[in-house]
Structure 1
Amino acid sequence: MFRETVVHAGGTTEGTASEAHLLMTLRRAVRRGYGIEATREGGALVTWTRAEYSGQTAERAVLFAPQKPVAALTEALAQDLHLINDMGPAKYEENAQGRRVIRVGFLEFSPMATAHLRARQMVATDQHGTVRLTMTARLSLLAAKHLTTTTEPGIGAVASKASCTCGLFTATAGDRDAARHLARLHRQDMAAEFVTNLAPAVTAAITA
């Protein structure tokens, strides 16, 4: 579950949202060309500009914050999540000692690691015991992959530089604000690509 905060003309409205509602909102945002950004806590921010009757424009936003935010996506945790997602199918089963564990092929997660992933709502299981990553886990991984930075111009330089940890984006701009804007556009492009490329099996499991 997520806490949903909507910024509108009358102020803000808060409520709760399911994974299915979050996914529906993100897909609609992609179709409408709205900005989407994943948060390191495993949530998402949707922003857009709306024309007012006065001829002015107003910023609108929807923020989804997971009820169990990702406090720290360590390298080990990220590797575990990638294993579950990339080497599936993953199953939630009992081991030889009668403890509940996640199995992926010949790999067996420890009962402690399994319990941690479930308690932090990083994974979900269906009635058949099939394990999948939650949207919280997926968005946290996305945000960690695309951490963007901007630098101040050096002595004698006339431009600021923006770059991303994915290694696929670098850009220069006249000042740091412009560089930050370019970096944010990159993050939004990557988030839109993420939503568009979610596998049908994943979207079906989330919306079931």
Structure 2
Amino acid sequence: MKSFLLLLFSAAVLSGCAYDAKLQDSGTSARTQEIPLLFDQAQTQAVFVTFDGTQLKSYGNDLSRAKTQYIPASTFKMLNALIGLQNAKVTNTEVFKWSGEKRTFPAWEKDMTLAEAMQASAVPVYQELARRIGLELMRKEVKRVGFGNAQIGQHVDNFWLVGPLKISPEQEAQFAYQLATKQLPFDRNVQQQVKDMLYFI
């Protein structure tokens, strides 16, 4: 999931850059034609979506998926962090302590900051953050941002993992672009902190 987050975010940033038209036509078209083949080789039905602030483009072997909503899973960590930071439920330097309990992956079994948890896709850390935010504030903020179908149900710590929250790849690409360009309805410094988490080393 770490690589997916970086890919999603990088696509949003790079899609906003200007390229020479001839280079784009010759180089990019050849590369994009390979995308469906890569998905075929992986034996999966998938779509890759880019957004440059104006135009959405979809590539893959099942383009209908671009408009189909799915649970956001770990991509929700970006919005979770934004909400937590904006509402002073966490700081970007706070360390979430590991209690010693067994976790799904050994990489999650340690103390972590939000940035480290973002990189490790550590679900327990972001579940703890969601519980701090609370159901009503979370519902209000998800709706205010207009993230996907904006439905979070009655359980604040798993709605992005099992539903009812869903979002389409096109909506995800637009959200990533807004974060990349700091156009989301959060303080710009908060958006920068979350951007930095995605590139944290």
TM-score by structure 1 length?
A: 0.30
Higher relative contact order (CA 8 A, sep 6+): 2
Give the number of the structure whose residues are more often helix, by fraction: 2
Structure number with greater Rg is 1
Q: Could you state the TM-score of these two structures normalised by the residue count of structure 2?
A: 0.31
